[in-house]
Homo-oligomer: A and B are copies of this chain.
Amino acid sequence: MMWDMLAFGPHARDGNWISNLPSVPTLDDVARSAGVSTATVSRCLNSPERVVEHTRKRVMAAVEQLGYTPNFGARVMAAKRTFTIGAIIPTMENAIFARGLQAFQEALHARGYTLLVASSAYQPKIEEEQIRSLVARGADGLLLIGHDRDPAVYEYLRARSIPVLSAWVYLPDCDQPTVGFDNRASMRALAQKVIDFGHRSIAMISGITEGNDRAAARLAGLRDALSDNGLDPGAVPVIETPYEIENGSVAFRTLMQGDTRPSVVMCGNDVLAVGALRGAREIGLSVPDDVSITGFDDIELARIVEPQITTLHVPHREMGRRAAEALIDIVEKRNSGASIELQSSIQLRGSLRDLRV
């Protein structure tokens, strides 16, 4: 276990009375100034209805006048709550997470919570470290992406009674709550559509599946569809590569160099699909005339390129918002935290050719 996070380093106690001059007012100062006890001031702030009107007015005036702001640490210590929620996402560089996180943050804010953010770069080890770090920072609850991780992590969180919510996946049978969609079924549906369009020679550019259950589920979904249609799921050329445009381009060109060119390249997300599209242009192939391309996520990019990319629309903003609400509900013990399923939907666009016509 890493103890770095425990170390706050050597601290010079601020014993310098000079720097204390612009001292921040405390509850005590407010109490004295308003001529009441600290308890009353605290109640004015936390449960105003328990303080009679004229007292409250006097107190609030003192608060205002002194420019009082509660001390965070003291409050956390006494109340055992930080009203802070932690989120660990793979990266904010992918618009899908950036937008989900934006919606998540907005929803948290609406309910008086603040967001603590960390990123894992898709690396389980980094993610674990970040989980510890956010927990140590007092997060009241945690949002994680995907659900497949070391059981010890869940053990650790349970021991500390920190609620966790897994987003971007929907696992009804899981003992942890999830908010998301069925990656596997979604990809299966898209692949089915591709097959319906007459494609038989399918290749895939997948994200790295190791340690990424969404990527793995999408690949599995493609294999499901192939099996469903009597095609050999083992025969699909698959290249796994990190979600970067350039990688999509490289992978695409590699796939196209094989003996049997696929008629369609299905990508693990839109970023790879955009890369594939670029790769096609680079080697002079026309999409969708020479080869079709599909994506996943439906980020802005997918509709900006030419041709637009056929992809699966994922309601990322709604996912972020619902995740925030569900997580807060659990933190505040309003419910036990059932999973919420969101629907993805196929967006047929120019990058996929219908071979039947």
Contacts and interface: CB of A to CB of B under 8 A. Distances in A.
Interface of A: 1, 3-11, 14, 22, 24, 45-48, 60, 63-64, 67, 69-84, 91-93, 95, 98-99, 101-102, 105-106, 109, 112, 114-119, 130, 132-138, 156, 159-161, 245, 274, 278, 300-301, 304-306
Contacts of A78: 73
A125 to B, nearest CB: 13
A26 B253 CA distance: 57
B3 A45 contact: yes
Contacts of A101: 92, 117
Contacts of A9: 46-47
Contact of A301 (B4, B71, B115, B301): B301
A211 to B, nearest CB: 19
Nearest to A305: B304
A84 to B, nearest CB: 6
A70 B136 contact: yes
A101 B95 CA distance: 13
B99 A93 contact: yes
Q: Which of A7, A14, A106, A137 has the most CB of B within 10 A?
A: A137
Contact of A82 (B24, B48, B67, B72): B72
Contacts of A306: 305-306
B105 A135 contact: no
B116 A22 contact: no
A133 B278 CA distance: 44
Given A3-B45, A137-B72, A305-B304, A106 B119 contact: yes
B77 A159 contact: no
B138 A73 contact: yes
Given A7-B46, A114-B118, 9 more contacts: A7-B45, A10-B46, A11-B80, A11-B81, A72-B136, A76-B77, A117-B117, A245-B300, A305-B305
A177 to B, nearest CB: 20
Given A64-B1, A98-B92, A105-B118, A8 B83 contact: yes
B116 A115 contact: yes
A8 B245 contact: no
A304 B3 contact: no
Contact of A69 (B4, B6, B106, B116): B6
A76 B79 contact: no
B70 A73 contact: no
A99 B95 CA distance: 10
A243 to B, nearest CB: 13
Contact of A5 (B102, B112, B278, B304): B112
B114 A69 contact: no
B98 A114 contact: no
A92 B82 contact: no
Given A159-B22, A159-B67, A46 B11 contact: yes
Contact of A76 (B6, B47, B76): B76
